[in-house]
Amino acid sequence: MSTSPIRLASVCACLLMAACSSGPRAVRGSDEPGLDHGAMSTGLDRKDLQQMVGDNMTALEASAIVAEWKKQTDRTKRPGLAVLPMENQTSEHIDGALSALVSDVETRLVNFGAVRVVSLDSQQKLIEEMKRQSGGAFNQENVAKLGQQVGAQFVIATKVSTTDERVEDQRRVQYFMFMQVLDVASGEILFQNKVNTTKAIIRD
């Protein structure tokens, strides 16, 4: 059965219109260079969080406490260190992303070669109990207690907080990531660093 020229032209026109549609489409990062770099909102995205964690870890690596740990050349005698779940003090739904970043911090610590990293994966019930007792937040007393129970001499505690400002139709959100290293035995803060990042919606 033959197709008339008019019908064929109509079909081609429909296909062309569909191809030229300006509606939304799904894309992947590998097909769109720079897709992961541009900000889409004032919320924290993966790039923001990774950058803040990376800057904190760079500061930690250059700190006096890590230099002290590196003096111990016997790997079996290196201190045990545990990375606590990161505390989200913002209104952003970033708990999943923060959980994933704990593994990034542990990886950096392993590569430091200065400590034995004590995984908390098998200690989830203990962690939840500590959070329940402290109303969802880690204070220094609870951090020390948790570290002792998991066999760590030191712990890393991290929290993300925010301030939000609006003026007419413009908005600026400033995020802060605090990272601390605490001595489990004394509760002393041996390292502390804060990294900032700002997201905004502005009118040119």
pLDDT (tens digit, 9 = 90+) per residue, 28-84?
A: 444 545 444 444 445 567 788 888 899 999 999 999 999 999 988 888 788 999 888
Q: pLDDT digits over 128-177, tens only?
A: 655 555 555 556 666 666 666 667 889 898 998 887 656 666 667 788 89
Q: What's residue 54's pLDDT? A: 93
- The pLDDT score that the predictor gives to residue 39 is 44
- Choices 3.40.50.10610, 2.40.30.260, 3.30.2010.10, 3.40.50.1100: CATH for 37-201: 3.40.50.10610
Residue 192: predicted pLDDT: 95
The answer to whether residues 50 and 86 touch, using CB atoms and an 8 Å cutoff, is no
pLDDT at 178 over 50: yes
What pLDDT score was predicted for residue 202?
60
